[in-house]
Structure 1
Amino acid sequence: MSYQKTKRPAQKSNKTSCKIKTGHAAIAKQPSATSPSSAIEPDISFKTASNFTSQNATINGVTATVEALSTLIASDNPLFKNGTVWTPHRPIRPEKSEGGIPFQINTPFEPAGDQPAAIKALVEGIERNERTQVLLGITGSGKTYTMAKIIEKTQRPALILAPNKTLAAQLYGEFKSFFPHNAVEYFVSYYDYYQPEAYVARSDTYIEKESSINEQIDRMRHAATRAVLERDDVIIIASVSCIYGIGSVETYTAMTFQMQKGDKLNHRQLLADLVTQQYRRQDINFTRGSFRVRGDTIEIFPSHLEDRAWRISLFGDEIETITEFDPLTGQKTGDLQSIKIYANSHYVTPRPTLNQAIKAIKMELAQRLDELNSVGRLLEAQRLEQRTIFDLEMLETTGSCAGIENYSRYLTGRNPGEPPPTMFEYIPNNALIFIDESHVTIPQIGGMYRGDFRRKATLAEYGFRLPSCMDNRPLRFEEWDAMRPQTIAVSATPGRWEIEQTCGVFVEQIIRPTGLIDPLTQVRPACTQVDDVMNEIRKTIKKGYRTLVTVLTKRMAEDLTEYLHEHNIRVRYMHSDIDTLERIEILRDLRLGTFDVLIGINLLREGLDIPECGFVAILDADKEGFLRSETSLIQTIGRAARNVDGHVILYADTITNSIERALQETTRRRQKQIAYNEEHHITPTSIKKNIGDVLNSVYENNYHADIPDFVTQNNKVDNNLANHIQHLEKSMREAAANLNFEEAARLRDEIKRLQKIELTIADDFLTHNDEYSTNETITQSSLFSKPDLDHMEPTMDVGLLESHQIKKKIHKKTFDKKIIK
């Protein structure tokens, strides 16, 4: 991460700050069709917007965008812009060259339980052109299968919104298995790490944009946009990041070109066109998004393909053959009659449009510099001029620059305040939208805009960006609401906005195809919750099931993990400090039985699919708040609903309103399910699901090397496992330093395998020893969470030994006093 201090001369008279209230200080208004909930309000108050456009507007430098926003807010119509009612942009899409095949589900299962009635009701609503419908489907009732059947019956493309990458990837795997012959694509944020550009005025600190892009997900994003433009049988699985801007449909399609066998073309012009599309010429390192030239043969690695590339053979100026081949082995895999090449970036811009944009940027720069100079803000003016001129030179020379998205208003020809082009402009008008876990996803859509606007307003005020950068933003909720096609909100606990949209009407899916009923839920005193949980965990382990425990804080999760481990229980914790990849591995290890108990805070909720879970414990259930609201309790209770022996215990000293409502709803559902089973003579059975890594093709391809075990007869560990692991770590780093990455990957995987063995040995050792000895080399990372080898120092275990032992004894005493009374 790059931090840069800037020196500013003292300015007393003209120094102002751009203060934007983005929370609940906005105009109070009653919920309406365009206001999803009390948490989704106008983005800034009218008073604040008015201040922007008065005498301080020229100082703040956000005139154009804020004038549009103030007009919008003052109109009492959230879609009122520039004197007229704003209507979503519907771009003209090119004719689809591939068409598609009919949607057909590939599964032996037939709709059961409440599924047939729910499918019929929702399909009839779609045929009646109802814009919004709600499917209230409980955990394990087959909501995903219901969505798939609706797509099959309507034969319409679909966009499925998920609240996070993990659930999106889970849905992607399920729909891939349902529709193996159709285009099921994945469109989420391609950042593994993202630090947005920002300026902290209080400390005078500039934070430069820093990011790490996942190549696999970037490829899948390109495949998704191409499939939407080329095929009719498309299902896009997306996260909320789809409301952020990408290149416009017009410019993206204008930068594509098609070639057929027998066409005449200019060799040099073809290479120039590929460079314009932001393909890189790499004659040696032939990777995705690059091309290479070998005499009259041009090889292209398209941006949307993973293991296939195209070879164009020329005879003079005529295309003689077009073949598809494996870029790794060079082996030919097929002959092609024609190909269509899409750009290597969604932000490519044709040269005429780029020239017009450069002129407009120069005009705004001159106007902004006049504003800053007129009020004596010379440092900001000099900074803005230097940064913007550099970007303009890069645009003129290469057609791109770092942070090109900040000039999206001019590159797409939008007016100030208008939303940027997003995925919703790519999907066809007859598409369906399914909002999975809508009670979480919809508030996310409403909250994305505010923080983004405040951050960029500060950048514009202090001369780091032109004011037009604020038009590179996510959609506001009202804009998304106006752009969305027919929508089905899917949740076990629908939010207020969804219910208001349908006037309280929803389709209920409570009866599970397996006959499972909601788990038996009890309330027990919180004063002895830890000891009681431990006893229940031991009973659950004897039955061969797993346990989920939810607590309120990270510290409590870690301390409880440590306490249970000291009592010979195989346990791990999972919270927001654990990265996405490690969370997936933790959940997989839980299902495989590597450990028996998983402790979490807010991650053990929506979409967590663990049929082996037989017991869920909710500690401190009477602490009213977000983590113990009615919705949170119902969602957490549902994690035990996939097992016939599942049960839930809420530990509370008082029965709060949320607990009472959650228990009433669970009881209502149980009674209905039991009556249905008795009427139809159904015996409940646990859900059975293969333990597969759904995300293997989505996330881990960039990180995991599938290499056989490293240990052979010549690599005996003997009795000193910790020293052997340290030796392997040293060898791994030496191999990486020598650029021998295959050997380093092999050693890394072997270290991970041995650390699992070390954990098992530690468990067995603790069974026979109540106190730790001074010779132990068991680290906190190896006990409770998976170590990160990329950040582990060679002597980490030795260095942490002494402090870990002291810390463990202190924690044990304080934990006993504070929690186990």
Structure 2
Amino acid sequence: MSKQFSLAPDTFPPRGDQPTAIEGLVDGLSRGKRIQTLLGVTGSGKTFTVANVVARTNKNTLVISHNKTLAAQLYSEFKQFFPNNNVGYFVSFYDYYQPESYLPQTDTYIEKDTEVNEKIEKMRLEATAMLMSGEPTIIVSTVSCIYSLGSPHEWDQSAITLSENMEIGRKELIHKLIEARYERNDITLSSGSFRVKGDTIDIIPGYSDDVIRVSLFGDQIEQIGIHNSVTMAKKRTVGTVKIFPAKHYIIGDDAKNDAVTSIQRELETWLPNLPGELERQRLNSRTNYDLEMIQELGYCSGIENYSRHLDGRKPGQPPFCLLDFFGNDFLLVIDESHVTLPQLRGMYQGDYTRKKSLVDYGFRLPSAFDNRPLKFPEFEKYLKSTVFVSATPADYEKKNSSAIVEQLVRPTGLVDP
């Protein structure tokens, strides 16, 4: 992969109002303007303009769209514009999602029920791995990017770096893989799993289709090869490889012990506040069961509800999300901002309303409130180098933009698209 963003060589040169819009946005970003709006009519090639801005500024870029279909379309377009750079796709991985809830009017508890799309889960892991690689990266996302995701520092710390001639025993490597949430399966190898045959360990990262084959000689790595997962034909030999965890929620031993203590303390403090013995008994048994699972396995069902304790955050402190994987200096593009911004604004309140009855009736600890999407004021703190893209900017864009760059003449020169 290139260390610079480079547009595909067969890309058409900008036409119509595109050259002026590109220059205006790039100039604004270089002058430190926090928020600009690209006001472009339908069919004027706004995505192509954004691609040129990305290539000129050479910053990691997050593009937020308001639904999966448009996000997939943008992902496809950016892949064509930047064939030699990282382009990732980060949307909700649920094909079906029934959130945990409680209806006190009918005394009905609805357990969380989900159907996960494994391909999209892999693409989410791939997106964060791209950002951690240090190479120029574009991620296309939906509002999923403001939801709790786990600590980028913990995720990076839990990655396993292997290199040729490195001293590491077979048992130690297996232990590290299990800690990184990889599953051992010596029969069928799939994404996020590994198998062991003698001194050879085959691993398929949670974000890849290739097999990493680690050949050991005693307690030393003899060779690391990248293989095709179907034919097992060797593609190449590498000197060093970094294997990121198979899941986004990772707990180190120190963080796990601190989290267990913190959860127990919260449980003891909160139990007297519940209205009846039934609620107290329910919360006590559920929480203690989860604590046993965390201590024994490192995770439990619904572990995200304890994310505040696992991340070491204070009550009310915003969760880690995809935005935190970008660092401090990145370009944020909000597509169809007149629709996407209201969606970003409304996510928190819906989540809070559902969880309130779970907490009030002893199904969850109050810390579950902190497994949430960002509040809009928290999201606004990330608007440091931002371009809103819209044909019909709303009041928020008009009020907060340092510049509104117009793109009214289409590349074709036609009045209608």
* Fold in common (TM above 0.5): yes
The CA distance in 2 between the partners of 1:431 and 1:482, in whole Å, is 13
Answer 1 or 2: higher relative contact order, Cα 8 Å, separation at least 6: 2
- Root-mean-square deviation (CA, aligned residues, Å) is 1.1
Say if 2:248 is the partner of 1:346: yes
**Count of aligned residue pairs for this structure pair:** 416
- 1:510 shift after superposition: 0.8
The structure in which a higher percent of residues are strand is 2
* 1:515 pairs with one of 404, 410, 413: 413
Letter in 1 for 2:365: L
* 2:390 pairs with one of 491, 495, 501: 491
Gaps of 5+ in 1: 1-97, 519-641, 643-821
Say if 2:259 is the partner of 1:357: yes
**Structure 1 residue aligned with 2:356:** 457
Give the conservation status (yes or no) of the 8 Å contact 1:172–1:186: yes
**Structure 2 residue aligned with 1:474:** 373
**Structure 2 residue aligned with 1:199:** 102
Secondary structure (helix, strand or coil) at the match of 2:381 reads: helix
Letter in 1 for 2:153: E
Say if 2:280 is the partner of 1:378: no
Give the conservation status (yes or no) of the 8 Å contact 1:247–1:347: yes
* 1:454-500 Cα distance to aligned partner (Å, 9 max, x none): 11111000000001100000000000001233100000001110100
**Structure 2 residue aligned with 1:24:** none
**Structure 2 residue aligned with 1:103:** 5
* 1:658-695 Cα distance to aligned partner (Å, 9 max, x none): xxxxxxxxxxxxxxxxxxxxxxxxxxxxxxxxxxxxxx
Letter in 2 for 1:410: H
**Structure 1 residue aligned with 2:121:** 218
Secondary structure (helix, strand or coil) at the match of 1:314 reads: strand
**Structure 2 residue aligned with 1:135:** 38
Letter in 2 for 1:239: T
Give the conservation status (yes or no) of the 8 Å contact 2:35–2:383: no
Q: Residue 469 and residue 108 in structure 1: after superposition, are their counterparts in 2 closer, same or farther (change >3 A)?
A: closer
Say if 2:193 is the partner of 1:290: yes
Letter in 1 for 2:19: P
- 1:232 shift after superposition: 3.3
- 1:153 shift after superposition: 1.1
The CA distance in 2 between the partners of 1:512 and 1:328, in whole Å, is 46
Say if 2:227 is the partner of 1:325: yes
* 1:27-46 Cα distance to aligned partner (Å, 9 max, x none): xxxxxxxxxxxxxxxxxxxx
Give the conservation status (yes or no) of the 8 Å contact 1:122–1:150: yes
The CA distance in 2 between the partners of 1:457 and 1:119, in whole Å, is 47
Flag the structure with larger Rg: 1
- 1:416 shift after superposition: 0.4
> Matches of residues 247-258 of structure 1 in structure 2 within 5 Å?
247-258=150-161
The CA distance in 2 between the partners of 1:495 and 1:462, in whole Å, is 40
- 1:370 shift after superposition: 2.4
Q: Residue 232 and residue 335 in structure 1: after superposition, are their counterparts in 2 closer, same or farther (change >3 A)?
A: closer
* 1:349-388 Cα distance to aligned partner (Å, 9 max, x none): 101100110011011111122223xx5x001011101111
- 1:101 shift after superposition: 2.1
Secondary structure (helix, strand or coil) at the match of 1:324 reads: strand
The CA distance in 2 between the partners of 1:484 and 1:260, in whole Å, is 39
Give the conservation status (yes or no) of the 8 Å contact 1:424–1:484: no
**Structure 2 residue aligned with 1:426:** 325
The CA distance in 2 between the partners of 1:467 and 1:108, in whole Å, is 53
Secondary structure (helix, strand or coil) at the match of 1:402 reads: coil
- 1:330 shift after superposition: 1.6
Secondary structure (helix, strand or coil) at the match of 1:483 reads: coil
Secondary structure (helix, strand or coil) at the match of 1:506 reads: strand
**Structure 2 residue aligned with 1:368:** 270
Secondary structure (helix, strand or coil) at the match of 1:410 reads: helix
Secondary structure (helix, strand or coil) at the match of 1:136 reads: strand
Letter in 2 for 1:219: K
Following TM superposition, the consecutive aligned residue runs of length 4 or more in structure 1 with deviations greater than 3 angstroms are none
The CA distance in 1 between the partners of 2:383 and 2:171, in whole Å, is 43
Give the conservation status (yes or no) of the 8 Å contact 2:169–2:218: no
**Structure 1 residue aligned with 2:310:** 411
- 1:506 shift after superposition: 1.0
**Structure 2 residue aligned with 1:300:** 203
Letter in 2 for 1:212: E
* 1:383-412 Cα distance to aligned partner (Å, 9 max, x none): 101111110111011000000000011000
**Structure 2 residue aligned with 1:260:** 163
Please give the TM-score of this superposition, normalised by the length of structure 1.
0.50
* 1:237-285 Cα distance to aligned partner (Å, 9 max, x none): 1111100010111211111121100011121111111111110000111
**Structure 1 residue aligned with 2:77:** 174
The CA distance in 1 between the partners of 2:272 and 2:53, in whole Å, is 58
* 1:182-234 Cα distance to aligned partner (Å, 9 max, x none): 00111111111111100011111001001111111111111111111112310
The CA distance in 1 between the partners of 2:399 and 2:374, in whole Å, is 21
Secondary structure (helix, strand or coil) at the match of 1:494 reads: coil
* 1:271-312 Cα distance to aligned partner (Å, 9 max, x none): 111111110000111100000000011111111102x11111
Give the conservation status (yes or no) of the 8 Å contact 1:131–1:485: yes
Secondary structure (helix, strand or coil) at the match of 2:201 reads: strand
* 1:494-544 Cα distance to aligned partner (Å, 9 max, x none): 1110100026x41111100112213xxxxxxxxxxxxxxxxxxxxxxxxxx
The CA distance in 2 between the partners of 1:252 and 1:103, in whole Å, is 26
Say if 2:335 is the partner of 1:335: no
> Matches of residues 448-597 of structure 1 in structure 2 within 5 Å?
448-502=347-401, 505-518=403-416
Say if 2:41 is the partner of 1:112: no
Say if 2:337 is the partner of 1:438: yes
Letter in 2 for 1:495: A
**Structure 1 residue aligned with 2:51:** 148
The CA distance in 2 between the partners of 1:149 and 1:483, in whole Å, is 22
The CA distance in 2 between the partners of 1:242 and 1:300, in whole Å, is 28
Secondary structure (helix, strand or coil) at the match of 1:380 reads: helix
Give the conservation status (yes or no) of the 8 Å contact 1:185–1:223: yes
The CA distance in 2 between the partners of 1:509 and 1:483, in whole Å, is 26
Letter in 1 for 2:371: N
Letter in 1 for 2:48: Y
**Structure 1 residue aligned with 2:67:** 164
> Matches of residues 57-136 of structure 1 in structure 2 within 5 Å?
100-106=2-8, 107-136=10-39
Letter in 1 for 2:87: V
The CA distance in 1 between the partners of 2:319 and 2:192, in whole Å, is 25
* 1:84-123 Cα distance to aligned partner (Å, 9 max, x none): xxxxxxxxxxxxxx8x421111133111100011111111
